[in-house]
Structures are given as structure tokens and as C-alpha cells.
Amino acid sequence: MQLQRIKHGTPSGKVIEALEEDGAVIVEDALGRDQLDLLEREISQRLVQTPNCEGRFHGYATKRIGGMIGKSEVCRQMALDRTVLDIMDHFLLPNCARYQINLTQLIAIGPGEQRQITHADDPLFPFDNPYEIMINVMWAVDDFTKENGGTHLAPGSHKWPRDRQPEDDEIVQAEMPKGSYVVWLGSLRHGGGANDTGSWRRGIVMSYCLGWLRQSENQYLAIPVETVRTFPERLQELVGYRVHEPNLGMVDGEDPLHWIRDGVKPEFPAFKDHLPEEMNDLLRQYYEGR
Ligand SMILES: O=C(O)CCC(=O)C(=O)O
Ligand SMILES: [Fe+2]
């Protein structure tokens, strides 16, 4: 059993097909040398200053840094990767007006870290979801190997009953060169690997979820608003500065995108409707038909 491996730049349909089948897929060589060099400069000092995590789930010999999209230009580029967005369009867009960033997190698994418990990520949202509600993309900053903690994944487990846990022979590890990424669906069983080497295994998770869910990481505090103002509009929207129709995420009845764009929040704005077209049509019929 192996994960399918696809070269970056291959039409997204192939990647989506593999994800439908296995629930996880590796996309190879998505970052160029210059991006990897810049990323190294953006993260190395931060990692030195960051203490180890303190929790059984997050690890004790692991370091994590949140809000990466506000801290790294390369992460902003990763967030907008065309293949990644095609994947999210396919799996998430049928069930929301727009999807959003759930969290962006650097995960550095340190020497001696033990294997993380095998889990699915989507029980974060406590309801019986009949479709995928979140998807994670793990970008390799170092080569991922079996020895240094390459992510464990159980291909096909997105189709299993919820209470079925994988046996060891149903699990594969994401082995991939740095600059590649592995995508897994929110329902897929997986976990961080044990690190039996003397060096860190650094990866960056870019997580996306339906636009009407609460984000795991509070994007409005994780990223300084002055930094958000420098983002392209698509990225401002992705981190959450956009109304999800109908009427979720408004500020004084305004779409936050206007406030971010114009730089000032009006003192006395007119409170507006933010509705999908079908609802507007229904309202029009109701009020005009009376
Ligand atoms: O670091 C990894 O490879 C996976 C981590 C993970 O699945 C998690 O923390 O939820
Ligand atoms: Fe996870």
C-alpha cells in the first residue's frame, strides 16, 4: 500500500481523483529553491526562540508556531497554491458559500519525539458530518522520511465507519522531498511520526475548512490587522475578512472586506443584508408580490 505521488503542475483533476480514492495524496516539488531559502530565513530564528509544546496531543519534544500566514511570505504563497485551491473548490465549495483558512501551523517534530496518537482532524467540529468539512495540506520544509517523523496516514480510512481505527499494516508514512506537500481529508486517520533521528522534521500545515465553521485558530488575533491589509484580496477573504452569506461574520452590518480595504470602519454605517442570490429572490417575490 502506497500513497499516490503526483508532480506539482499536473492538472488538478488527477490530484482530486487520488484524494477521492485514498483520502490522501502527495504532490511533489511545489516549492522552488528560492522559496525554500526564503522560508528557511523566515522560520529558523523563530524556531530557536520557541519552546517545546506542552500537551499529550501536541507533543513534548515538538515545537509548533501558529499564525504562519502572518509571519511568512512563502506561507502566503503556499495558501494560494493553484492545485490546493482547486482541491478546496472541489471538496469544500459544494457545502459553503466560501471556504476559509482553519489554521496555519509550523510543526517541528524534535529528536526523540514519540509517535502521535492516530486521529482524524474533523472531530474538532462536533457534529456528524456527511461530507468533508476540513482539509489539511502539510508542506515539507525538510525531507520527510520514515525515521524523522514523516506523517502516518491510513489510505482509504475516510471511507471507514467512524469507530474503526487502522491496524499498523494499514498505515503508510508520507516520505517526500522538501518543497512537496501531502494533502489529507479531515476524516482520514493519521498522526505525526516518531522522530528517531538527531534533527528536526519541520513541516507547515495549511488547513482549510467550510466558511460557516469556527476557525481552529483565531485569525483576527493571530495576524496583525496591518499585516492583513497588505494581503491580496483573495487572501484577506481566505483568512476570514469576508461575510459568509447569509449574514455570518458581519461588522455593524458591513462586510469586513470593505473595512479592511478602506482602512476605516464607518462610525454609523447603514446595516445591510448579506444574502445568497436565492434568498434575495425569495425576499423580492415576497415583498413585491404582496
Ligand atoms: O506533524 C504531523 O505530521 C501531523 C500532525 C497532526 O496530525 C496534528 O497535530 O493534528
Ligand atoms: Fe492531525
Threshold 0.85, pTM exceeds: yes
Q: Which one has a higher pLDDT value, 9 or 268?
A: 9
* Residues whose CB falls within 8 Å of the CB of residue 113, separated by 6 or more in sequence, listed in order: 59, 60, 61, 62, 149, 192, 194, 195
Contacts of 116 (CB under 8 A, 6+ apart): 57, 59, 152, 191, 192, 193
Cα separation of 181 and 79, whole Å?
12
Per-residue model confidence as pLDDT tens digits over 136-185: 999 999 999 999 999 999 999 999 999 999 999 999 999 999 999 999 99
**Span from the CA of 188 to the centroid of ligand 1 (angstroms):** 12
Write the CATH number of the domain with boundaries 5-223. Answer: 2.60.120.620
Total residues belonging to the chain? 290
Q: How confident is the model at residue 202 (pLDDT cuts 50, 70, 90)?
A: very high
Average pLDDT, the chain: 97
- Determine the Cα–Cα distance for residues 266 and 36; give it in Å rounded to an integer: 41
Residue nearest to atom 5 of ligand 1 (CA): 192
Residue 116 CA, ligand 2 centroid: distance in Å: 9
Residue 266 binned pLDDT confidence (cut-offs 50, 70, 90): confident
Residue identifier of the C-alpha nearest atom 4 of ligand 1: 192
Q: How far apart are CA 20 and CA 86, in angstroms?
A: 13
CA 146–ligand 1 middle distance (angstroms): 14
pLDDT tens digits, 53-103: 999 999 999 999 999 999 999 999 999 999 999 999 999 999 999 999 999
β-strands 24-28, 5-7 pairing:
parallel
Using CA positions, which residue lies closest to atom 9 of ligand 1?
A: 58
Q: Kindly tell me if the per-residue pLDDT of 290 is higher than 80.
A: no
Please give the Cα distance from 205 to 75 (Å, whole number): 10
Going from N- to C-terminal start, the domains of the chain cover 5-223, 243-290
